[in-house]
Amino acid sequence: MPCYSLDGLTPVVDPSAYVHPTAVLIGDVIVGAHCYVGPLASLRGDFGRIILEEGANVQDTCVMHGFPDSDTVVERNGHIGHGAVLHGCRIGADALVGMNAVVMDNARIGARSLVGATAFVKAGFSCAPQSLVTGNPASAKRVLDDQEVAWKQAGTREYQALARRCLHGLQECAPLAAAEPDRPRLHVSDHQPKRSTL
């Protein structure tokens, strides 16, 4: 992976975490145990500190950045969907930020909450635990029920398993010219989460 030390600070990646070779880590970045960082993600610790706590995932093309002296944090088992932007904010334990959502400076997303896809969370926003947060600008709409939280937790466990799969089985290769006859399908889990109705 492109990994850059800056002003004497070198990114830290726990050996049990998986960071895709195309993801970029710069400076004051700390990636905890069992985390997953997807292709083309950018974690720029060139002003503030970037922290992924144990079991968090940051998916493809996500950006994490912050102002000087800020921390941008995804707490334990946090789940950041494709293309999301986190800037100087804190995502609570077991929370989910949907695809292409933006969470701005000093925003605090409560534990077990869900920020909907494409939501824009303004600077300084905060919500109670287990909130559904949607809109532009985003607001807390209601409390998530336990089934919705369980759906999110199942998805996060799949990304934790993906980190292990990638550490042990992902290999760069040349593509085939054509699909093989009777091409097998991936059988990842018998317990994959069903699609959300949120």
Asked whether residue 167 is assigned to any structural domain, the reply reads: no
For residue 131, being part of any structural domain is answered with yes
**31 inside domain:** yes
| Torsion sign over Cα 157, 163, 165, 168 | negative
Quote the domain boundaries for residue 29. Answer: 3-143
| Interval 47-82: pLDDT, tens | 999 999 999 999 999 999 999 999 999 999 999 999
Does any domain span residue 190? no
Whether residue 168 lies inside any domain: the answer is no
> Per residue in 134-145, pLDDT tens?
999 999 999 999
CATH code for the domain in which residue 118 is found:
2.160.10.10
* Contact call for residues 148 and 130 (beta carbons, < 8 A): no
Q: Residue 89 falls within a domain, yes or no? A: yes
185: in domain: no
Q: Does residue 20 fall inside a structural domain?
A: yes
Kindly indicate the confidence band of residue 37, based on its pLDDT and cuts at 50, 70 and 90: very high
**Count of domains forming the chain:** 1
